[in-house]
Structure 1
Amino acid sequence: MSDPMRPPVSHQHPQTASLRSDPSRPRASLRTAVVWEVLQDALDRRVKATGRQALDVLDTGGGSGNFAVPLARLGHRVTVVDPSPNALFALERRAAEAEVADRVKGVQGDAHGLFDVAERGGYDVVLCHGVLEYVDDPAEGIRNAVAALRSEGVLSLLAAGLGGAVLARALAGHFKEAKQALQDPDGRWGQGDPMPRRFTAQQLTGLVEGAGLRVGAVHGVRVFADLVPGVLVDTEPGALEALLKLEEAAAELSAFHSVATQLHVLGETTETSET
């Protein structure tokens, strides 16, 4: 599995800040900024609720550590479960370079056999980013992720959005493919589509609620970023910052969820929502 990828908050996550200021990775910041803002807010609330500065985080399908290593740099303990040995090797190298190898553990496995390699009920936060698109049974994948949470915990779910794919195919002039994606049960535009499955916001929230969690927030990710010419973002002064702010402003508006490339859902245990 590959690494994919809120209400306004006053602070800025350090990883988001570094991506914003790195001119060599403009697209990376657009793919992750909104998710980082939401996730950081959730982590802060869990730290406050537990009284522990270091949380136990499970990153299913976490690959080479795009989220795991920055979380470890914040002091959290992260277990990454991924089926790819190459990705786990890259994770080990990245964690060592970031000097957080003692807080990052990589194990080979997948969402369906999660508890062969991860502890049931052992984590404060579970990341399920870019996983549901590939599993045979998304509902089972979510149930396993939720079962890995402690009695009070948070699920961060990131998955491909149907509307963004339909819009992208239509704007590219592939109208038949756009219609095919719109009507296909898995949201695929044809046999050449590299994405096995896409979701609507309603489908994702239904999966989260069906697994027993309360939906804390839903955000659209990459609402505009994939539609804007790369040359504009890379060369126009101030364009990246302005586009990031636009993405953040649109992310929490339900009107834009239907056209986002990805959808992020934050699920919380009922105990968490009542504290």
Structure 2
Amino acid sequence: MQGVTRAPGVRTAVVWDALRAVLAGRDRLDIVDAGGGTGGFAVPLAELGHTVTVVDPSPDSLFALERRAAEAGVAVRALQGDASDLGDLLPADSADLVLCHSVLEYVDDPAGALATVHGLLRGGGAVSVLAANPVATAIHRAVAGHFDEARQVLDQGRWGAKDPTPRRFTAQELAALLREAGFEPAQTHGVRIFADLVPSRLTDGEAGAAEALIALEKAAADHPVLRDIATQLHVVASRT
């Protein structure tokens, strides 16, 4: 199995490792990237030979996706819509893998969105879910001196009316949502445990620093304490 055609960045390396495990030994999958935007995951997956469809509500993002795919010399299907439209845009039992990255935080009905994803997947299919973690946000707000907002995030998942993220999920909440929708979640990984805390100047100018930070992120991803303070939580769940 080939590796991803580009080296993964610090912020996505842990997710790519989990996706490689899903892709291993499978030459050509039908993949749907819900909310896939400009193709940060979709284009590399297409470069590996998979058939990829991106569904995203932003026409500007889809235009950038098509340009990115053309520059890479691959075909990626682009459909305008959001997670709630998946059942109308695509037939049932038509996907082997659905990416649902930074989507559940914004949809009106996270449980309904996951149920729709379940209907898209064939038997043995999987969903890759990446979602914001309230604990990390509380830490970041506190470090910035916003102590009341940090407490509010812990209580309500948001730090106030100006918070651009409507909701966040703990690992336990993600697992419960997935099981309710008919999935069996595997191990949850922490993503961006250190990457959002380390100043970029420490990795931009020093040879090997970015690689060392990626290695640290991977080592910490499954740590039972560090995982729970990650900016995002990632879980791959199989269709039951």
1:161–1:127: structure 2 CA closer, same or farther, 3 Å change rule? same
Q: What does residue 257 of structure 1 align with?
A: 227
TM-score (norm 2): 0.95
Q: Secondary structure at the match of 2:153?
A: helix
Task: Return the alpha-carbon distance in structure 1 between the equivalents of residues 6 and 176 of structure 2.
Answer: 29
My pick for the range that moved more, 170-179 or 124-133, is 170-179
Task: Return the alpha-carbon distance in structure 2 between the equivalents of residues 182 and 15 of structure 1.
Answer: 39
8 A contact 1:34–1:251 mirrored in 2: yes
* Structure 1 unaligned residues grouped into runs of 5+: 1-10, 20-28, 48-52, 271-275
Cα deviation code 1:162-201 (max 9, x no counterpart): 11101111112211111111111xx111122111111101
Q: What does residue 166 of structure 1 align with?
A: 138
Task: Return the alpha-carbon distance in structure 2 between the equivalents of residues 16 and 89 of structure 1.
Answer: 21
Q: What does residue 269 of structure 1 align with?
A: 239
1:12–1:195: structure 2 CA closer, same or farther, 3 Å change rule? farther
Q: In the alignment, which of 144, 147, 153 is matched to residue 116 of structure 2?
A: 144
Q: What does residue 39 of structure 2 align with?
A: 65
* Structure 2 unaligned residues grouped into runs of 5+: none
My pick for the range that moved more, 207-216 or 65-74, is 207-216
8 A contact 1:68–1:78 mirrored in 2: yes
Percent sequence identity is: 55
What RMSD over aligned residues (CA atoms) do the two structures have, in Å? 1.5
Note the C-alpha offset of 1:215. Answer: 1.1
Q: Is 1:194 aligned to residue 164 of structure 2?
A: yes
Q: Which amino acid in the other structure matches residue 44 of structure 2? A: P
Q: Is 1:14 aligned to residue 4 of structure 2?
A: yes
Note the C-alpha offset of 1:12. Answer: 8.1
Task: Return the alpha-carbon distance in structure 1 between the equivalents of residues 45 and 23 of structure 2.
Answer: 10
TM-score (norm 1): 0.84
Q: What does residue 177 of structure 2 align with?
A: 207
Higher helix fraction (1 or 2) = 1
Moved over 4 A (4+): none
8 A contact 1:61–1:131 mirrored in 2: yes
Task: Return the alpha-carbon distance in structure 1 between the equivalents of residues 208 and 193 of structure 2.
Answer: 19
Q: In the alignment, which of 66, 81, 88 is matched to residue 116 of structure 1?
A: 88
Task: Return the alpha-carbon distance in structure 1 between the equivalents of residues 158 and 3 of structure 2.
Answer: 34
1:204–1:165: structure 2 CA closer, same or farther, 3 Å change rule? same
